[in-house]
Amino acid sequence: MAYYFEEPSRTFGEYLLVPGYSSSKCIPSEVSLKTPLVKYRKGEEECPFEMNIPMVSAIMQSVSGDRLAVALAKQGGVSFIYGSQTIEEEAAMIRRVKAYKKGFVTSDSNLTPDATLADVLDMKQKSGHSTVAITDDGTAHGKLLGIVASRDYRISRMSRDTKVTEFMTPLSKLITAPDTTSLHDCNDIIWDNKLNSLPLIDKDGKLQYMVFRKDYDSHKENVNEKLDANKSYVVGAGINTRDYAERVPALVEAGVDVLCIDSSEGFSEWQKLTIEWIRKNYGDKVKVGAGNVVDRDGFRFLAEAGADFIKIGIGGGSICITRETKGIGRGQATAVREVAAARDEYYKETGIYVPICSDGGIVHDYHITLALAMGADFVMLGRYFARFDESPTNKLRINGNYVKEYWGEGSNRARNWQRYDLGGATKLSFEEGVDSYVPYAGPLSEGVQATLYKVKSTMCNCGALSIPELQEKARLTVVSSTSIVEGGSHDVILKNSSRVYE
């Protein structure tokens, strides 16, 4: 006879935190959000890999490219570059993140001299950047011919088919610097000459980097940025259970800091075999997370297999339809609570603390706080990060509103058979994700800082100044459907009826 769980499968939206006593020291600026990413012997040794914020980006084509990886590392989190691409392409993304110099930006807006004003406007629309480099071959490292900035053209007075060579600032009138110039000296040049940007070129005149005036203050503000021992930004990568013997060595050689097996369901021998191969060839030097699971048995299986962290969640993502198509999954709150209890049980038995990651089910910012309170060490977010400038997808205008494209790894668009196939055909048999849009939300830094301020504020309401303290002191209550309605605005006429949740 089938086994039936006694407790209903609950989501984060069915819970609220009950405030606790907070002292005068409980203010957001005093809250620490540091959290372990990989397993360690708690109390006996330091975690070999901590994050400064409890947020990682989902292993998705529409979320985690190299630009977002750098942006999230600046805030103190870790991005997992998507694995549903060729080994060479994924390794190249890792290299770009590791090669990124703080303050030195590889231009992502480049055109050839044959381009027109229409091309400039299209480029600006796609990238969100107003500075476009004109190079001989239209690449980021071609020979620099000029720069087009917003001050170089007036849309109302120019034809859109005007060649960029007619209005760009040519190289002869640009102030540039050698690519060996230090960031300190670059900033001095920018300030002394009242520049908005400074191109750095090599001895052959080829563009290498751009240094921007606006980045100066932001670098001073990124106190939480996550760097490795070589002062490069930390980056993770997704792998599958098919080609790991070829993919893992390439990613390790490229400099990846941590790996994660990307799968819709992790309670399988495929994941165990993958972890065993990594341990056999790299020992504990290569860190690898696994998942996803939704109960105690799944956690124990992956912990005993040697996973460095374990992801929780099946079917809770905003674009995931696994529950709808297969009838498989569990409410995210219930899954996190049970796996957290299993994690604590495993720690008492072995002395090894295996961090857990809540993946999916986050609709509102406060759901992050709930996930942490219920025992998650950090959360993985897809829709949340897909909204920002730095995600890999296009920014579009639909019905008067700006949106960004967002699709699931189980969708036909992703064609990620390695993630969802069970070992038979080398194709996607049916879809477990949808293709969609999400409201555009601007730069990642502003969004993440606003979200984390809410998390810190709520933690203060609970009398907690760290994530472990929150998990110790948190008091949660199940809410009724009526009280959920009561919790939002009600019985009033809103002045702004077009409000969109960000």
**pLDDT per residue as tens digits for the range 240-288:** 999 999 999 999 999 999 999 998 889 999 999 999 999 999 999 999 9
pLDDT digits over 372-381, tens only? 999 999 999 9
Lowest mean pLDDT: which of 306-310, 428-432, 495-499? 428-432
pLDDT digits over 414-439, tens only? 555 444 444 444 555 445 556 789 99
Q: Is 320 a catalytic residue?
A: yes
**Element (DSSP H or E) covering residue 41:** strand 40-41
Asked whether the beta carbons of 440 and 387 are under 8 A apart, the reply is: yes
Sheet holding 144-148, edge to edge: 110-111, 132-135, 144-148, 169-170
pLDDT digits over 37-79, tens only? 999 998 888 899 999 999 999 999 999 999 999 999 999 999 9
Instruction: Give the C-alpha distances (Å, rounded to integers) separating 133 from 148, 187, 325, 341.
Output: 6, 19, 47, 54
- In this prediction, residue 501 has a pLDDT band, given cuts at 50, 70 and 90, of very low
The Cα–Cα gap between 305 and 299 comes to: 10
Lowest mean pLDDT: which of 224-233, 328-337, 380-389? 224-233
pLDDT at 308 over 90: yes
Lowest mean pLDDT: which of 227-236, 400-409, 411-420, 438-447? 411-420
pLDDT at 21 over 50: yes
Residue 413: what pLDDT? 60
Residue 219: what pLDDT? 58
- Tell me, what DSSP letter sits at residue 251? H
**Element (DSSP H or E) covering residue 159:** none
The Cα–Cα gap between 360 and 337 comes to: 14
**Element (DSSP H or E) covering residue 36:** strand 35-36
pLDDT digits over 96-106, tens only? 999 887 778 88
Asked whether the beta carbons of 302 and 339 are under 8 A apart, the reply is: no
Asked whether the beta carbons of 144 and 171 are under 8 A apart, the reply is: yes
pLDDT at 472 over 70: yes
| Amino acid (one-letter) located at 209 | Y
- Tell me, what DSSP letter sits at residue 136? T
Cα of first residue to Cα of last residue in the chain, in angstroms, is 45
Residue 502: what pLDDT? 42
Q: Which long-range contacts (CB under 8 A, 24 or more apart) does 293-298 make?
A: 293/265, 293/266, 293/267, 293/335, 293/339, 294/329, 294/330, 294/335, 294/338, 294/339, 295/330, 295/335, 295/338, 295/339, 295/342, 296/338, 296/339, 296/341, 296/342, 296/345, 297/267, 298/266, 298/267, 298/339
Lowest mean pLDDT: which of 38-42, 216-220, 368-372, 440-444? 216-220
Q: Is 419 a catalytic residue?
A: yes
Q: Of all residues in the chain, what percent carry a pLDDT higher than 90?
A: 72
Residue 434: what pLDDT? 65
Residue range 471-485: mean pLDDT, rounded: 90
Average pLDDT, the chain: 89
Residue 221: what pLDDT? 64
More confident residue, 321 or 140: 140
Structure tokens given for 234: 């930390």
Asked whether the beta carbons of 163 and 179 are under 8 A apart, the reply is: no
Instruction: Please give the model's pTM, rounded to 2 decimal places.
Output: 0.79
pLDDT at 467 over 80: yes
Residue range 229-244: mean pLDDT, rounded: 93
Say which of 320, 357, 460, 462 is annotated catalytic: 320
Q: Where are the beta strands (DSSP E) in 305-447?
A: 309-312, 352-353, 356-359, 378-381, 395-398, 401-407, 435-439
Lowest mean pLDDT: which of 13-22, 128-137, 361-370? 128-137
